[in-house]
A = this chain, B = another copy of it.
Amino acid sequence: MFFHVQRLINEIVPDEPDPAAANALQEGLGGQFGEMRTMMQYLFQSFNFRGPDGKPFRDLLYGVGTEEIGHVELIATTIARLVDGSPRYQGNPSSLDEPGADGATPLSVALSGGNIHHWLVGAQGALPVDAQGDPWTGKYVYDSGNLPLNLLYNLMLESTGRLQKCRLYEMTANKTARSTIAYLIVRDQAHENAYAKALEALGVEWNKLLPIPKTNAERFPEVETLLDQGLQSKQYTFSLDQLSEAGRLCQGPSPSKDGTTLSTEQAPEGAPMEIATERPEEFGPGLDPELLELVQAAARMEMEEPKGQWGRVG
């Protein structure tokens, strides 16, 4: 059973919209090695896990899998911002925000590259597709039922995700895009470390192979700050009932051989969320004055706070 808090797992730095960067980021959301895939793969491996002796391994999968839902939320929100009201900065300030000004059609940006579905099928929001527009598919999910194989696959998966995010970083200088890319580079390394450590528990010695790819703060300034916080060596459980035993695996020296020690926490602090503004040229949400009034009336209705047994205890 899963719960939600209205906070993003990491803060998104503001910058101009950038549809090309948005489209590239779709690979990190709906691509073969993106966050939807890691999320689903680890959740299925958790649901189907065999062998009560291996509870710490299962709990590790549940923890990373739950974190990945938050990554899906983070990267989807980042894409939505990058594609929102685009693209004022490209020299025609009146184009989208004043539809029709100067004789331009208000959505002509949709024809100039990237994924036309961002404007045509959705209303300037994220899509469950990759950077080529191919939809995410359940075929991506790997769960062989064999523990060593699953761990090997997951290590490779996180490393490939990290590789692609390093390439994404080199494709765009947009700060909104880079703030999320840098965060995921570091968290992918954290997950590389977690799966590599789990394989060390099965006897493997990695020596100099990790991290993959062989790069870090030297190329990516935004990554440096996060490394200074040791974020590449922390594992989160996202476990409300504190029953997770992932911490039994995630301790000791990092397999990345960077001198840090692995540790475990429940969850990061997170950052506040906002609701995006209306885009009338998209008919989103598409309320005329009469319908808007009905919506506002509903938002003013009284409600009783639902009783619940889960919440903030700190």
Asked if A66 is an interface residue, CB under 8 A from chain B, the answer is: yes
Docked pose: A108 CA to B23 CA in angstroms: 13
Interface residue stretch chosen among A182-190, A224-232, A270-278: A270-278
If A2-B4, A119-B171, A285-B146 touch, whether A51 touches B138 (CB-CB below 8 Å) is no
Interface size grouping (class) on chain A: 35 or more
Question: Once the chains bind, are B294 and A40 in contact (CB under 8 Å)?
Answer: no
Q: Is the CB of B299 within 8 A of A248?
A: yes
Chain A, residues 225-267, CB within 8 Å of chain B (1/0): the string is 0000000000001111111110111010000000000001111
Contact of A4 among B8, B76, B239, B288 (CB under 8 A): B239
Q: Contacts A108-B172, A298-B248, A298-B249: A50 and B99 contacting too (C-beta < 8 A)?
A: no
A47 touches B311 (CB 8 A): no
Nearest-CB residue, chain B, relative to A48: B125
Contacts A124-B145, A238-B4 given: A117-B105 contact, CB under 8 Å?
no
User: Which residue on chain B has the smallest CB distance to residue A203?
Assistant: B207
Closest 7 CB pairs of A and B: A123-B145, A266-B308, A48-B125, A309-B314, A128-B138, A145-B284, A135-B138
Q: Report Cα–Cα, A184/B12, bound state, in Å.
A: 37
Judged by a CB distance under 8 angstroms, whether A164 is at the interface is yes
Q: Are A307 and B1 in contact (CB under 8 A)?
A: no
Q: In whole angstroms, what is the CA distance A167 to B284 when docked?
A: 11
| Contact among B27, B215, B287 for A214, CB-based, below 8 A | B287
Partner of A267, one of B3, B116, B125, B238: B3
Given A54-B299, A107-B171, is A49 in contact with B146 using a C-beta cutoff of 8 Å? Answer: no
Query: How distant is A5 from chain B, measured CB to nearest CB, in Å?
Result: 5
Which residues of chain A in 282-314 are interfacial with respect to chain B, using CB atoms and an 8 Å cutoff?
Answer: 282-288, 290-292, 294-314
Q: Does A21 contact B (CB under 8 A)?
A: yes
The residue of chain B having its C-beta at the shortest distance from the C-beta of A111 within the complex is B20
Most buried by B among A27, A126, A291: A291
With both chains docked as a complex, state the minimum distance between the C-beta of A44 and any C-beta of chain B, in angstroms: 6
Q: Among B55, B76, B247, which residue has its beta carbon within 8 angstroms of that of A47? A: B76
Complex Cα distance, B282 from A147, in Å, reads 12
A149 x B160 contact (CB < 8 A)? yes
15 CB-based A-B contacts, threshold 8 Å: A1-B5, A1-B238, A3-B4, A24-B110, A24-B116, A48-B276, A49-B275, A53-B299, A117-B132, A121-B144, A139-B139, A147-B285, A167-B283, A240-B240, A265-B306
Q: A36-B138, A264-B306 are in contact. List 15 more A-B contacts (CB 8 A).
A: A4-B240, A5-B240, A44-B127, A47-B77, A49-B285, A51-B287, A117-B131, A120-B131, A147-B286, A152-B152, A214-B287, A265-B308, A266-B308, A310-B313, A311-B311
